[in-house]
Structures are given as C-alpha cells and as structure tokens.
Copies of this chain bind each other. A is one copy, B any other.
Amino acid sequence: MENKTPDSEAINADLVNKIKPNMPKKELLYDLSDFFKVMGDSTRIQLLWALEENELCVGELAAILDMTKSAVSHQLKVLRTAKLVRSQKRGKNVYYSLNDEHVQIIVKMALEHVCE
C-alpha cells in the first residue's frame, strides 16, 4: 500500500530546497520592509497626500494636519531620509515636494486593496 495518497503529507523538502535559494538577500529585504515601514504611518501618509496637490512648507503642512511643526518636521525627516520627499529652503520657509513618482501609484494600488 505504498502508493496511497497520505491523509497528511510531511513537509515537501524538494519544494523547500527549490524556493529557499530564490529568497531575497537580507539587504534587499530590509530595504523593502523599511520602505513599507515609512509608508506605514498615518501622519506620513497625510504628508504625502497633501504634497501630491502642491509643494508646501512646514507651517502649511502643520496647519493642514492639525499638528505641531515639531511633530511634522520629525516625520518629514523620515520621508526625506527615505528619499520620498525633497526640501528646498526659500527665505524663512522650507518647502517640501514629492520626490518619487512610484509613491502615487503605490498609494493608489493600496487604496484599491483597502477599499474592497
């Protein structure tokens, strides 16, 4: 009776050995998850959302989000480090704008997912 399909299969070692070497390298893995981590905060999503409409300075962003300039500035730094926004100082103000065309598409895809 060796050809019967078992009710429960042991783990498929061949499949594991085929998939394991195709896994992404640690570095790429961290880059990917770090990118999503940056997007995974409602304050930063709002900042990106607002900047899709216009270049805006910190005070304007703080007014739109109803938050302190300090809190906004901290989060803008995260977005800047991730290269999702860029900043430009003009007079007393620092104006921020989007720096990556992928972001708008990614947010749109995510919207389709969460709106199902």
Indicate if A1 sits at the interface (CB-CB under 8 A): no
Interface size on A, residues (CB 8 A): 59
- A28 contacts B114, CB within 8 Å? yes
State how many copies of this chain the complex holds.
2
CB contacts (< 8 Å) of A20 on chain B: these are 63-64
For residues 22 through 59 of chain A, which have their beta carbon under 8 Å from a beta carbon of chain B? 22-24, 28-42, 44-46, 49-50, 53-54, 56-57, 59
Secondary structure call for the A interface: helix
- B53 contacts A42, CB within 8 Å? no
Which of the residues B41, B49, B53, B59 comes within 8 Å of A24, measured between beta carbons? B49
- B15 contacts A60, CB within 8 Å? yes
